[in-house]
Protein backbone atom coordinates (compact mmCIF):
# COMPACT_ATOMS: atom_id res chain seq x y z
CA UNK A 1 0.00 0.00 0.00
CA UNK A 2 1.43 3.42 -0.92
CA UNK A 3 2.55 5.54 1.99
CA UNK A 4 4.11 8.88 2.78
CA UNK A 5 7.75 8.64 3.80
CA UNK A 6 9.83 11.16 5.75
CA UNK A 7 13.51 11.60 6.46
CA UNK A 8 15.24 11.84 8.81
CA UNK A 9 13.26 10.18 11.58
CA UNK A 10 15.11 12.24 14.18
CA UNK A 11 17.06 15.46 13.73
CA UNK A 12 19.03 17.19 16.46
CA UNK A 13 20.23 20.72 15.76
CA UNK A 14 21.56 23.70 17.60
CA UNK A 15 19.58 26.88 18.01
CA UNK A 16 20.06 29.22 15.08
CA UNK A 17 20.93 26.47 12.61
CA UNK A 18 18.97 25.70 9.46
CA UNK A 19 17.25 22.35 9.02
CA UNK A 20 15.56 20.72 6.06
CA UNK A 21 12.95 18.07 6.62
CA UNK A 22 12.15 15.83 3.69
CA UNK A 23 9.01 14.04 2.60
CA UNK A 24 8.00 11.85 -0.30
CA UNK A 25 4.20 12.08 -0.70
CA UNK A 26 2.07 9.30 -2.14
CA UNK A 27 2.78 9.30 -5.86
CA UNK A 28 -0.59 10.22 -7.35
CA UNK A 29 -1.50 12.77 -4.68
CA UNK A 30 -1.72 16.42 -5.63
CA UNK A 31 -1.96 18.24 -2.29
CA UNK A 32 0.82 18.27 0.27
CA UNK A 33 0.86 19.50 3.82
CA UNK A 34 3.11 20.03 6.81
CA UNK A 35 1.86 19.76 10.37
CA UNK A 36 3.65 19.85 13.68
CA UNK A 37 2.91 18.42 17.10
CA UNK A 38 4.69 19.74 20.14
CA UNK A 39 5.03 17.05 22.81
CA UNK A 40 1.74 16.60 24.66
CA UNK A 41 -0.13 19.06 22.46
CA UNK A 42 -2.44 18.80 19.50
CA UNK A 43 -1.50 18.44 15.86
CA UNK A 44 -1.25 21.88 14.24
CA UNK A 45 -1.47 22.77 10.57
CA UNK A 46 1.49 24.69 9.13
CA UNK A 47 1.11 24.90 5.36
CA UNK A 48 -0.45 23.33 2.30
CA UNK A 49 1.03 23.16 -1.18
CA UNK A 50 -0.60 22.58 -4.53
CA UNK A 51 0.53 23.05 -8.11
CA UNK A 52 3.99 24.15 -7.00
CA UNK A 53 2.87 26.94 -4.73
CA UNK A 54 1.66 27.52 -1.21
CA UNK A 55 -2.13 27.32 -1.00
CA UNK A 56 -2.73 28.10 2.64
CA UNK A 57 -0.57 28.75 5.67
CA UNK A 58 -1.24 29.16 9.35
CA UNK A 59 -0.01 31.87 11.70
CA UNK A 60 2.74 29.50 12.82
CA UNK A 61 4.23 29.44 9.33
CA UNK A 62 6.20 32.68 9.53
CA UNK A 63 9.21 33.91 7.56
CA UNK A 64 11.57 31.35 9.11
CA UNK A 65 9.70 28.57 7.34
CA UNK A 66 9.68 27.72 3.65
CA UNK A 67 8.52 24.78 1.56
CA UNK A 68 9.66 23.49 -1.76
CA UNK A 69 9.05 20.69 -4.20
CA UNK A 70 12.53 20.46 -5.72
CA UNK A 71 11.69 17.57 -8.01
CA UNK A 72 8.79 15.30 -8.94
CA UNK A 73 8.83 13.31 -5.76
CA UNK A 74 10.24 15.24 -2.79
CA UNK A 75 8.54 17.90 -0.69
CA UNK A 76 10.66 19.76 1.84
CA UNK A 77 10.19 22.00 4.85
CA UNK A 78 13.04 24.35 5.67
CA UNK A 79 13.40 26.10 8.99
CA UNK A 80 15.95 28.86 8.54
CA UNK A 81 17.05 29.72 12.05
CA UNK A 82 15.76 27.21 14.54
CA UNK A 83 14.54 28.19 17.99
CA UNK A 84 14.09 26.06 21.07
CA UNK A 85 10.32 26.24 20.62
CA UNK A 86 10.59 24.63 17.19
CA UNK A 87 11.26 21.31 18.92
CA UNK A 88 8.37 19.09 17.86
CA UNK A 89 7.28 16.22 15.65
CA UNK A 90 6.83 17.40 12.09
CA UNK A 91 4.42 15.43 9.95
CA UNK A 92 4.08 15.55 6.21
CA UNK A 93 0.74 14.57 4.69
CA UNK A 94 -0.69 14.25 1.23
CA UNK A 95 -4.19 13.91 -0.12
CA UNK A 96 -5.66 12.30 -3.15
CA UNK A 97 -7.67 13.88 -5.91
CA UNK A 98 -11.42 14.01 -5.58
CA UNK A 99 -12.30 10.41 -6.51
CA UNK A 100 -16.02 10.15 -6.33
CA UNK A 101 -16.26 12.05 -3.08
CA UNK A 102 -18.33 15.18 -2.86
CA UNK A 103 -16.32 18.32 -3.37
CA UNK A 104 -14.40 19.16 -0.25
CA UNK A 105 -13.62 15.70 1.06
CA UNK A 106 -9.89 15.20 0.87
CA UNK A 107 -8.51 12.41 2.99
CA UNK A 108 -5.05 13.32 4.23
CA UNK A 109 -2.52 10.55 4.85
CA UNK A 110 0.32 11.23 7.22
CA UNK A 111 3.94 10.17 7.12
CA UNK A 112 5.75 8.74 10.16
CA UNK A 113 7.14 12.13 11.16
CA UNK A 114 10.49 13.71 11.91
CA UNK A 115 11.28 14.41 15.53
CA UNK A 116 13.15 17.74 15.61
CA UNK A 117 15.10 18.54 18.75
CA UNK A 118 16.62 22.02 19.02
CA UNK A 119 19.26 22.40 21.71
Partner 1 sequence: QKEVEQNSGPLSVPEGAIASLNCTYSDRGSQSFFWYRQYSGKSPELIMSIYSNGDKEDGRFTAQLNKASQYVSLLIRDSQPSDSATYLCAVLFSGGGADGLTFGKGTHLIIQP
Residues contributing to the site for partner 1 (CB under 8 A): 30-31, 33, 35, 41-50, 55-56, 58, 89, 91, 95, 97-98, 101-113
CB nearer to partner 1: give 79 or 93: 93
Locate all alpha helices (DSSP H) within the chain, ordered by sequence: none
The minimum distance between CB 67 and partner 1, in angstroms, equals: 13
Q: What is the nearest approach in angstroms of partner 1 to the Cβ of residue 49?
A: 8
Query: Is the CA virtual torsion 42, 48, 54, 57 positive or negative?
Result: negative
The residue (of 17 and 117) whose beta carbon lies closer to partner 1 is 117
Distance from CA of residue 56 to its chain's centroid?
13
Compare residues 33 and 75 and give the one whose CB is closer to partner 1: 33
Say how far apart CA 104 and CA 12 lie, in whole Å. Answer: 37
Amino acid sequence: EPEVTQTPSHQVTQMGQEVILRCVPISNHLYFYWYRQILGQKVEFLVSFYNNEISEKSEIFDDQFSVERPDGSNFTLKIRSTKLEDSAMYFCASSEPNRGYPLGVYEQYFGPGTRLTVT
